[in-house]
Structure 1
Amino acid sequence: MYQKIVTLLGAEAQSLLEHECKTIRKDLIHVPGPDWVDRIWEHSDRPIRVMRNLQAMYGHGRLADTGYMSILPVDQGIEHSAGASFAKNPLYFDPENIVKLAIEGGCNAVASTFGVLGSIARKYAHHIPFIVKINHNEFLTYPNKYDQIMFGTLKEAYEMGASAVGATIYFGSPESSRQIIEVAQAFAMAHELGMATVLWCYLRNPGFKVNNVDYHVSADLTGQANHLGVTIEADIVKQKLPENNGGYKAISSKENPYGKIDERMYTELASDHPIDLVRYQVANSYMGRASLINSGGASSGEGDLAQAVRTAVINKRGGGAGLISGRKAFQRPMKEGVELLNAIQDVYLSKEITVA
């Protein structure tokens, strides 16, 4: 298992597997482990039923009782259009195959829409934890617009047996203030009903692209998005893997100052190493009390397996709690999708790969 991971990492293997974090030390963060729900949530305000559902997710699949999570998310039929998402593999127009892939792939949970999960709930809700995505970007208005709107109710999610609800906030967008209020209220009600909460803490603003550099994936801005997410009591935060840093400084100018920084964010709390950048995201998630799961990203073909394993290694060594990978898995034959999900899980099962 370990040697296969080393081979897939290629020239980056030594840099990623032997790196030691000297920014935010390992002993300062909450490292995932078998006792995760007891250790982290025992003294919180989360109702007993929420803890039970969190345990159901952490206790399911190949990563059961490790403190790590592997989640299959398939909401791209709305977010990116069904045709564009499923043309490579029309099998997944049928919701049952989405759930079958998550089960066969040994995932902790499957995340999808009200329609997908509701259509097969009675057959599968007791076989794998459901995460019902409650808001989406409706992608048919012309010209296209980017906003997250509610697609259903918390009662519907509860009645179909969901273990958790998921939502997206486009932090930095003109609509973010409304989205924060809507999702905060929804998460409060979800907790009252006993469901856990998962927040897609995404950034969206054309101003975040400066001089051909995309700061939607900068550690400082994504870290702050995570911090806002855990402030509204997300139990798990989903974030893109950071690819750069210094978003605040790049966007801000004397004419248009933006945000607040302390230079130590860049000189002491982070470095250019990808593992240190993830560690900064973890720190902003209450030092890891809220599990950080990084997204797997779009499918690019033959390099998907190596890229997914690389992301998992960076997440685990940075102190994250897992990966949520969809398109890389479902945009290929089911057998290959299962193999990719298992390869991701192998990173978290490998004792040789430790938190940096």
Structure 2
Amino acid sequence: MTKNLELGLDTFGDVSVDAQGDLLPHAQVLRNLVEQAKLADRVGLAYFGIGEHHREDFAVSAPEVLLAAIAAQTERIHLGTAVTVLSSDDPIRVFQRFATLDAVSNGRAEVILGRGSFTESFPLFGFELTQYEELFEEKLQLFTEVRKQKPITWQGNTRAPLSNQSVFPPVENGLLKTWIGVGGSPESVVRAAHYGLPLMLAIIGGEPHRFAPFVKLYKQALEQFGNPLPPVGVHSPGHVSDTDEQAREELWPHYRVLLDRIGRDRGWPPITRDRFEAEAAPEGSLYVGSPETVAGKIARTAKILELDRFDLKYANGTMPHEQLMNSIDLYGTQVAPRVRELLGVDAAAESELVSR
């Protein structure tokens, strides 16, 4: 559905460095993140998502609190997560927090639910990794019941049962917009289709066209379940600067630190410059370069996967706040209009879509 492609931003609140190369305190990173969201709103982007993590290199562990602060200082941009780790949370409390965010933002709240690619929240909140699948499946099932905003009678294995229980506050208008974040599992794609929820594909490596079979599977499963076609989106990392060379040189040292740090935890080999360049190439999953380069790459991905939204993960490692702000500005003022041109999107129609 590329005719009305929305463009958004995602961040995990990566702890960044100052002008001297020293790591900023988490508190300053959070304050900077509010400024980044305000800029995203000013340049007309559709969505700003904040991921949840519980480790030293990411500053955001309570995204809904930060999103509420951002809601008070923005006007149009939709606000949500990237993702909410539902497996280690309570579905009712998640719904209540986002229903509250929806109220204070005048209907701009969204939530992307997923299992997350990090597992620190499991021991932190007392959950067993041996229940990884069961926790997510049961909690997603309960969340979808809560989302209907009717009295709930429910029973499972991972929390106490409910009997004719109402949940407050309700969402003011309609249902809370809820996506399912998927990293590349066919089972997760079918699960999203089963519940009739929008699909957000996290493409963080390899060629985006490899995910076309997942989109096809999603549509086939929706048809089999008798559900209408919801939006399909992609979340991928990148960075925008004035030229391709500048963008790559700005991103590379911070991206390398990020990937190597995570790789040490997961047994990956150190990232090489050749691999970085391959991901930054036209067929890779790293949207880094000048506005023209990034716009062209987004448009190609949107056409191949028939996307309704593309979210750029603009913060990748310790990149300074000033470079992140410049990337956001270029993404909103130059990349977004160029993507509309390439896809033949009417700017007035997109503006109406964002304002809903």
TM-score grouping bracket, smaller chain normalisation? 0.3 to 0.5
Question: TM-score by structure 2 length?
Answer: 0.46
- TM-score in terms of structure 1 length: 0.46
